[in-house]
Amino acid sequence: MFNELSVRLANSNVMIVGVNFDEDPRALTLQIADEMGIEFTVLSQETVDLLGMKPPDVLPTTYLLSPSNEVMAKLIGMQSEQDILEALALQGLAQLTD
């Protein structure tokens, strides 16, 4: 679903990225992403550290970050595409819900 959503949002100011909080080496993270069929950007641990993101208490967890990297929303548990679009709409991105 996130692969499809990342394509759908490609021409917007929203970007889907993945985060591996396991602190694996970058090559292993990319290998795992490839094996899982993840087609969107997966952040390196260095980038995650720069963002100040800590591992969530519950998996899966989806974060919505502002352009200045502030956590605007934290969605816990499985999310549908509609859930994500509604959360984006609450952050002022209503045009994406078409």
The per-residue pLDDT for 2 is 94
pTM for the whole thing?
Answer: 0.80
CA neighbor of 17 nearest in space, from 51, 45, 40, 50? 40
DSSP letters, 33-48, are HHHTT--SEEE-HHHH
pLDDT band of residue 95 (cuts 50, 70, 90) is low
Domains along the sequence of the chain with CATH: 2-97 (3.40.30.10)
The per-residue pLDDT for 96 is 54
Q: pLDDT at residue 97 above 50?
A: no
Non-local CB neighbours of 56 within 8 Å, separated by 6+ positions: 21, 74, 76
CA neighbor of 97 nearest in space, from 6, 84, 67? 84
**pLDDT, tens digit, for every residue of 30-58?**
999 999 999 999 988 788 888 888 889 99
